[in-house]
Amino acid sequence: MIVEELIVWLNNPEPTRFPYDSVLAEYHRMGKHFVSDSLLKMLALSRKVLLDPSDSGGDTTLLREFLRCALDKWDGCYEYTTYLALRLLPTPTMDDTPGLVTLALKRRDWLVLQLVADEINFELAFSSGHCELLPEMRPSPSLTTKRCRLAVQIVKPALQRLGLVDESTPADPYLAACKLCVTVLPILSTQDRRMLQLSMLPVYTIHDEYLFIRVLQAFEVTFALLAIMLCAAIRALSEKDCKTAISHISLAESALHEAAPLFSLLATMQPEAFRTFRKFTEGASAIQSRNYKIVEALCSKPDAERLNSAAYFRFQRSATGFLSVTERSTMRSDQHAALNGSPQMSSIC
């Protein structure tokens, strides 16, 4: 059926007409690792009609990025970025308008809120018997309740900053999670809903992989925000504006603390479930996280052993204009050396 739909689409390959729903249904039914060659061949053929570099419209770019993620195993370029579909997420980046840390925080808050609400909505749908997606190794009711409690805890600061919280949050974790979904999901835009849909490409059909993907995506968004804040702090220090630098560092510290419960949520994964789907994620590892390595480099210059490790493999200057990790480390070290070696340091701060 889906192959026939793609054949029809290729006769008039408008990106807005691409059968996303049918393609995703098959990926979710089988898991990315087990999608049929016939479908993969048709998707690869579909991608060929998008090769015109002059066509950079939003719908074309969206489809191109989706196919990049959907075909990563077929192409032999499967990695952390494509597994999490990170380029489909509207993550705040250092390409954004310099100095607008507040805007970056709002973007991070809204995106994390969407990711967590979507994850917990998946849990609630299963627990109420209204979900057939990823049917294997379902969690127990007590585990679902724990996930509800942690999800509400994770997003509470973001809800407050975005003005989406009131004083009537239910004490019961299940009811609180329901209220979270009712608060967030109805106000999602069409683009938000499509983003959430396309960024869920599990490799297998294990229930807990949904949680795994969403939590890692939320971490990536937070690391991106930390990188922006730390760069803003460095910029302020270079301008001898310690008050602003301290403010940015404090915001980064708060964001990091707020993200800590994500570890607890991740820890609710059933060990056997993780071991099962992890067999099919070989090649994608969190050590490939670009945003984490940027934060790491901004905080402390990595030693030679770290720079030559697998974690830094292929971590070079990207098309988006990020400096390489070595360049950013050198920049940070030079600035710190200049400040620490200056007899006027006390007068600066």
Q: Using one digit for the tens of pLDDT, what is the confidence trace for 153-179?
A: 999 999 999 999 877 789 999 999 999
Fold of domain 101-348: Methane Monooxygenase Hydroxylase; Chain G, domain 1 (1.20.58)
245 — pLDDT class (breaks 50, 70, 90)? very high
With vertex at residue 45, the alpha carbon angle to CA 17 and CA 288, rounded to the nearest 5 degrees, is 95
**pLDDT above 60 (res 64):** yes
* pLDDT value for 329: 43
**pLDDT above 70 (res 286):** no
Q: For residue range 107-141, what is the model confidence (pLDDT) as tens digits? A: 999 999 999 999 999 999 999 988 999 999 999 99
The percentage of residues in the chain with a pLDDT greater than 70, rounded to a whole number, is 83
**pLDDT above 50 (res 316):** no
* pLDDT value for 138: 97
Q: For residue range 191-229, what is the model confidence (pLDDT) as tens digits? A: 999 999 999 999 999 999 999 999 999 999 999 999 999
51 against 140, higher pLDDT: 140
User: Which residues does residue 136 pair with via DSSP β-bridges, in sequence order?
Assistant: 206
Residue 82 contacts residue 284 (beta carbons within 8 Å): yes
* pLDDT value for 94: 67
Q: What is the DSSP string of 280-315?
A: T-TT--GGG-HHHHHHHHHHS---HHHHTSGGGTT-
Residue ranges of the domains in the chain? 2-77, 101-348
d(CA 73, CA 59): 23
